């Protein structure tokens, strides 16, 4: 996740986005970016003000999207008040179109294998490990028992080698998923093809691929501007923050940063103070 271009100033990024609003897009991870990280994934909701800001933003620019490891049906439920958002679940293996979840045909072929993985994880791993079965992804959460990280990673690596699966490491979690070419980077790369400006907000290792997609487009097209925003955390956030253009301290600060962007559009009220670092 190296970066090569000159540092970007926040005011410059906002001004360039406002001036090319019809060609601009905003892309967001969910957990750790728009919502807190919690021990119970099912108890997580967007932070206060997040959905409202995304609704406003969607009226001002060409695209606003959520790109997440969560199932698309979950995202549809959490963002039901903002139907104009584009929703990409399971790293792009699922999308929501006209309110319906669409699953990638290549990935869907792996559903029986992933069911087997979930069953074997429940049988083999200590009960302190939370096994989250997302149908096409099996997430092994060790947040409640950090000392078991090694055991989880060893089991996951063996299973990936045995079944030809891919591993994704994250914030006190290891995910196993089908070996299809879908990740946050491929989603963002496809979605920005028609854009001249694109922002991506993320907090975890998988978000680095989206950062790379923005940088790759910049290298091919000098007229394109990518803006990388990292949400700080002590678990996996350092690597992402080092290559980000800007950082915010927590998911609760993401709406405040968006206020600064939104307020720059004509006719919008000025933003009040925010807890972000526009470095």
- Please name each of the domains of the chain with its CATH number: 10-104+182-277 (3.40.50.1000), 109-177 (3.30.70.1020)
Catalytic member of 29, 104, 204, 253: 29
- pLDDT of 270: 74
**Distance between CA 136 and CA 127 in Å, rounded?**
22
pLDDT digits (tens, 9 = 90+) for 144-170: 999 999 999 999 999 999 999 999 999
pTM surpassing 0.75?
A: yes
Look at residue 279 and tell me whether its pLDDT is greater than 70.
Answer: no
CB of 120 closer than 8 Å to CB of 159 = yes
Tens-digit pLDDT profile for residues 23-67: 999 999 999 999 999 989 989 999 999 999 999 999 999 999 999
31 catalytic? Reply is no
Predicted confidence (pLDDT) at residue 206 exceeds the cutoff of 60: yes
pLDDT digits (tens, 9 = 90+) for 74-114: 999 999 999 999 999 999 999 999 999 999 999 999 999 99
Structure tokens that stand for 74 in this block: 């979950």
Tens-digit pLDDT profile for residues 222-256: 999 999 999 999 887 788 999 999 999 999 999 99
Nearest to 117 by CA among 143, 88, 97, 137: 137
């Amino acid at each position: 996740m190296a970066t090569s271009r000159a540092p970007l100033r926040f005011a410059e990024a906002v001004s360039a986005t406002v001036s090319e609003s019809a060609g601009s897009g905003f892309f967001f991870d969910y957990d750790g970016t728009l919502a807190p990280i919690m021990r119970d994934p099912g108890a997580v909701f967007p932070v206060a003000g997040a959905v409202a800001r995304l609704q406003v933003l969607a009226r001002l620019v060409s695209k606003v999207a959520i790109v997440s490891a969560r199932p698309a049906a979950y995202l549809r439920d959490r963002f039901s008040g903002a139907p104009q958002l584009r929703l990409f679940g399971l790293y792009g293996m699922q999308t929501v179109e006209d309110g319906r979840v669409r699953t990638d045909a290549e990935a869907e072929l792996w559903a029986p294998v992933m069911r087997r993985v979930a069953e074997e994880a429940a049988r083999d791993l200590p009960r302190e490990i939370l096994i989250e079965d997302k149908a096409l992804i099996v997430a092994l959460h060790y947040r409640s028992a950090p000392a078991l990280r090694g055991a989880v990673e060893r089991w996951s690596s063996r299973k990936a080698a045995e079944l030809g699966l891919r591993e994704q490491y994250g914030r006190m979690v290891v995910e196993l998923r089908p070996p299809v070419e879908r990740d946050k980077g491929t989603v963002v790369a496809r979605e920005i093809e028609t854009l001249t400006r694109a922002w991506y907000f993320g907090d975890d290792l998988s978000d680095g691929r989206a950062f790379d997609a923005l940088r790759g487009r910049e290298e091919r097209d000098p007229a394109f501007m990518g803006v990388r925003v990292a949400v700080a955390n002590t678990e996996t956030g350092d690597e992402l923050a080092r290559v980000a253009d800007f950082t915010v301290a927590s998911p609760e600060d993401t709406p405040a940063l968006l206020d600064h962007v939104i307020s720059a559009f004509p006719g919008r009220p000025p933003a009040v103070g925010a807890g972000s670092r526009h470095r």
